[in-house]
Structure formats: C-alpha cells, structure tokens
Amino acid sequence: MGRGREAANSEKAGRVRYSADDPSVEAPSPRPPAVPLDEVPATTLRLADLEKVPLAGEGNFVWKIPFRGGHAVLKVYYGSRGWPLYLRKTLGNRITGRSSHMPRTRWRTETEVIALWEGRGFRCFRMLPQVTVEGLPREGYMAYEWTPGRHFREYFRDKAVPLEERLATWRRWIPQWHRRHRIAVDTADPRWIHENGDVKHVMLWKGEFIYFDFEMVYRSRNIRFLVGREIVTYMRSAGRFLGEEMYGRMLAELVEHYPDKALLMAAWEHAYADPNAAMAAARALDRNLRPRHRDRWSKYRVAREVKELLDRASLNIR
Amino acid sequence: MTGPGHDWRAAVLAREAGRLAGNRLWRLETPGGPVLQKYYCQKAGPLRTAWRAAWTRWIRGATSPRAVERWRTEREMLALWGAAGIAVPRDRTAEFPHLAGERVAILEWIEGRDLARLLAAGGLPRPERDAVLCRFGAAWGGRQRLAMERGDPRFAQVHGSLVHYLVSGERMVCIDHEQAYFPGRPVLPALAREAASCLRSLAKCGDPETFRRDLAAVAAGHPDRALLRSLAEAVSRLPFAGRGKRALGAALAEAAGSPS
C-alpha cells in the first residue's frame, strides 16, 4: 500500500489527512524482514536428516531444527491436512471474509505481512529465505530465526513476575498496539490486523514485542470493525488464559491508557452497532441464539465490558 | 447474551444496546497537556434521526442532527466563531491526527465549570454572581451584535443554554456547536430562540427573585440595550410561544429597560 493510497483513503475518511505517527510513541526502527546473507549464508538442508522437534499442534508442520550451532524454526505450510479440508476451510474463509486457506496462499500472506509489519518497526520472526529444504516446494515452507521469547499467555500469568511489572509491560505495549491500529485505519489495509491475534501470538523477547502467525488476513475494508474485533479477541483470550482478576486489571489499564478512546469503542461497535442492517440482524441472532455466547468469555460480553468502562471514563455519561 | 440468567429481558436489553445513543467525550493526556476527544454518535434510531433531520432542516432552518453532519458543522463553527474573536474551544484536530478520524474531533481542553451548574450551586456571593453574569451578558451580547451586523444566523447557537458556557478563569467559553442555522435565514428569530433557551436555563438556577436579579446583571453587561429590547420582543413573538416564552420575553424587556 503506497503513501498515495494512504492519503487517498485518509482524504475519503474525513477530508483531513490523518496519520498514525504519534510523536509521543517511540516507534522501533524498521528492519529488513529477512536475515541478510552476510549474517546467514545460503544453506541447503535435507528434511530427512533434520532432527525435528514439533512446536505446533495441528495444521502446519512447525519444527524446531538445529541450525548453524543454534536453532531455527521450519514451518511447512503443506501440513497434516488433506486437500478436501483445505478446500472446505478456504470456502469457509471466503464466507467469513478471510484470505484463502490453501498452503501456497498462506505462505505468501505470511511472508508479505511480516515484510509489511517489519517495515514499520513491528518485530516479527525474521525470515531465512536463503535456507532451502530439499524435497519441499519453494513456496511451501519458510525457515525463521529461532526466537525463544515468552508468550504473553505465560508471562502475564507468571506469579514470579511482580504484578506491577506485568502491568507496566502491558501499559508499554498498549501504545504500540494502538499505533498499529491507527496504521490499519489510515491505510485501509486489513493486513495490519492480526487475524489470529491473541495473547498466544505475541511474545516478549529482549524487551521487545514479537508477533507471529500471519497466515491469513481479513479482506474487509471496514478496518474500524476489524480493529474492534481484534481488540475483543485479545481481551477474550486474556480472560480465558489469565483468569478473571488479571483480565479485569488488563481491561482497566487498556481503557485508561489506550490513546484513542473513540477507536477503542470499535470493540463494542463491531459486535453491536453494525451499520449494515443485514449484518446487524445476523449479529443479533448470533448473540441471542447461539449457546456459546452465554460463555463468560463471549465476544459480546467482553465488548460490553469495554464499552462500560469507556462510558465510565466519558465526561458526559458517568 | 451471557450467563445462566439469559432470558428475553436480557435479549431486549442487548438489542437496546445496539447504538451508543449520544456523543462521548474523553479527556486524553498528551505530552502537550490534556485535550478533549469528542466522538460524535447517532443519538436515535434511523427513523427518528431521519424525522429529526427533516424537521430541523425544513422547519428550523438548521443543519442536520446526523452524527457526521454534527461533526462537520462543529468544526466549521469553531473556525468561524474563533476567527470572529468569540471565545470557543480551539479545534486541535490537525495537531493530533493520530487521535482524530471520521466523527472524531480533538478540541482544546478547558478547565472550568459550566455556568448553569455554577449558578445553580448557589455558592457564589451576589457581587461575584453579578460579575460572572455581567461577563456572560457582555459575551452573549457581543455575539448577538456581530450576528446582526453580519446578517449571519450562524452566530446564533441552536442549542442555547447556560450549560454550554464554561467559566474558565476570566474566559467565558461557548461550547457545543454541533448544529447551526443556515446562512441567509433571518437572524433575529434565530437569536430569539437562543435567548429563550438561555433565559429558561437561567430561570432554573434559582427562585423568581434570583432570576430577576440575575437577568438584571446579564442586561447590565449587554453592550446593546436596543438589541436586547428587540430580542425581548422577538422572544414573545416566536412561533408557538406559550405563556412561558412570553413571560421570559417580558422579563427580558423589563431587564433591558432597567438602568445599567
């Protein structure tokens, strides 16, 4: 997405050119998404010779492999699923407004998104495209730098880390999260939304936040709603994995420190206030009829909780 | 819809929650100090909004109450009034592009209290109360005179009320410019409508005797007695003016005639 398109979208949005560049947020400098050749020279590996430690459950094959005296991650997009399932999931994705589930598309999407995010200073797993694996189609796998960080899911429930320190980390992350959301809104590019974003897919490593798992992206251009959806997904996963108390604290911190409260309200709007009457009706049926939305960590309930706190912070509502 | 208590009441509530039903205002902390983020939201459902938009446009001659229109109008009015030297919050949207957007404006944060609450609280001694009301009268009258001189009803406030004046030190800042009268419409009736709303809101700030004295203080600060008398007459002649409005007009006429 070029700057020209960005400007055009911004113009359309409000006749004023908006930008995500918040001078108060220190943005990490961009870096190449791939490890340069002078750091890691071209290498060819034989799959059969590798000592593989599985890292992920279903779908793709994700292995930790020995590499140049250390480790690397090898992700093979042609995983354990058969073609009928890929086709079925692709059809499902089409209906729900996501990119294709086919292995090559997932490979392309992931590598594109990593390049995009790294280009604006968001740290992802660095790619090692110079690593070739014999016997695999070139657009079917990618080696990544080994990044032994701590997942948010583990870090935030680790009682060995003082609570104040964990909350300080959360507060440090919130402006970066908002910065990405603003870029998404300003560029109208759904690739800035973490489709599989939750506390399992962000890591803390060497003081930086590392994002991963970008195999699919949304296709909708209603970016505000996608932002809202991502916020709810992260907070639901925080509730589910970290428990009620930690969730409550994190939500309160989110509402207090998320720089753009109006954009945060999109969390509620995407669930309750769709301007498309057909979608609004579908949502109403969904939240009222589906038993899974009676769950404590239903997206609708989390969305309402975000709104309640935002309303309490609003000067004309409380 | 969640929890074991899920029933039709909860379903109705969830449905009712389908819109924000009013603007949201947040104080945001920035390195340059606090600012106000105003998020313009639809106040009613689509049918009611359409009806109100038609009524406002064709009967009142004012801009639409739709959220997007209110967002645009307010920023235009702040620029217009600010350029004319009227105390209004500064539009800082261009300074904070990362916090603004569609239906979101960033405005100057004004530390202060609204005039209606300040007066209704009753804590001000009479000389201070008179001084504040005199300042209000001067600001209000100055703007009315400007509107008449320029023949521009956009200088009349559609939602006139003392709630929309912030007393901030010596400043008397006029807020809430989401709707405006269309240029080219008659000025005096627009000013009279605003005056009626302001007088009604002033009358609620105390007993009748307090109202009479408050109004005298406002008139004392007003820079143009002749205009004030015309306004008093126009208030009484407003379409559908009932006893209440006629009484307010008479009170204003009495105050306008009183020695400053």
Closest Cα in chain B, distance from residue A20 (Å): 5
Q: What is the pTM of this model?
A: 0.87
Q: Are residues B134 and B242 in the same domain?
A: yes
**A110: closest CA among A143, A88, A150?**
A143
Q: Are residues B131 and B239 in the same domain?
A: yes
Q: Are residues A88 and A218 in the same domain?
A: no
| pLDDT by 10s per residue, chain A, length 318 | 343 444 444 333 333 333 455 655 666 788 889 898 888 899 999 988 888 888 876 667 899 999 999 999 999 988 777 788 888 888 888 888 888 888 899 999 999 999 999 999 999 999 999 999 998 888 999 999 999 999 999 999 999 999 999 999 999 999 999 999 999 999 999 999 999 889 999 999 999 999 999 999 999 889 999 999 999 999 999 999 999 999 999 999 999 999 999 999 999 999 888 878 888 888 888 888 887 778 889 999 999 999 999 999 999 876
Chain A to chain B, count of Cβ pairs less than 8 Å apart? 105
Q: Please name every residue paired with B181 in a beta bridge, in sequence order, or none if there are none.
A: B62
Number of structural domains found in chain B: 2
Judge whether B16 is closer than 8 Å to chain A, CB to CB: no
Q: Are residues A74 and A180 in the same domain?
A: no
Which single residue is written with the structure tokens 């820079």? B223
* DSSP H/E element including A250: helix A244-257
Domain residues for the domain of A213 are: 3-25+150-313
Identify the closest residue of chain B to A256 by CA–CA distance: B28
Q: Is residue A249 part of a domain?
A: yes
Q: Is residue A235 part of a domain?
A: yes
Burial status of residue B209 (CB atoms within 10 A of its CB: 0-12, 13-18, 19 or more): exposed
Q: Are residues A48 and A171 in the same domain?
A: no
What span, in angstroms and rounded, lies between the C-alpha atoms of A109 and A115? 10
The residue out of A125, A145, A165 marking a domain boundary is A145
Q: What are phi and psi of B27, to 5 degrees?
A: -85, 125
Q: Pick the range with the lowest mean pLDDT from A47-51, B134-138, B225-229.
A: A47-51
ipTM for the complex shown: 0.85
- Output the pLDDT for position B9: 54
Q: Which of B2, B13, B68, B114 is the best mutation test for A, with the most CBs of A within 10 A?
A: B2
Q: Are residues B130 and B214 in the same domain?
A: yes
Q: Is residue B9 part of a domain?
A: no
What span, in angstroms and rounded, lies between the C-alpha atoms of B91 and B93? 6
Is residue B203 within 8 A of residue B182, CB to CB? The reply is: no
Q: Are residues B101 and B118 in the same domain?
A: no
Q: Are residues B95 and B119 in the same domain?
A: no
Q: Are residues A303 and A154 in the same domain?
A: yes
Domain residues for the domain of B218 are: 113-257
Q: Are residues A198 and A256 in the same domain?
A: yes
CATH code, A121: 3.30.200
B 30-49 residues with CB below 8 A of A?
Answer: 30-31, 36-37, 39
Is residue A287 within 8 A of residue A293, CB to CB? The reply is: yes
The residue out of A145, A169, A198 marking a domain boundary is A145
CATH code, B61: 3.30.200
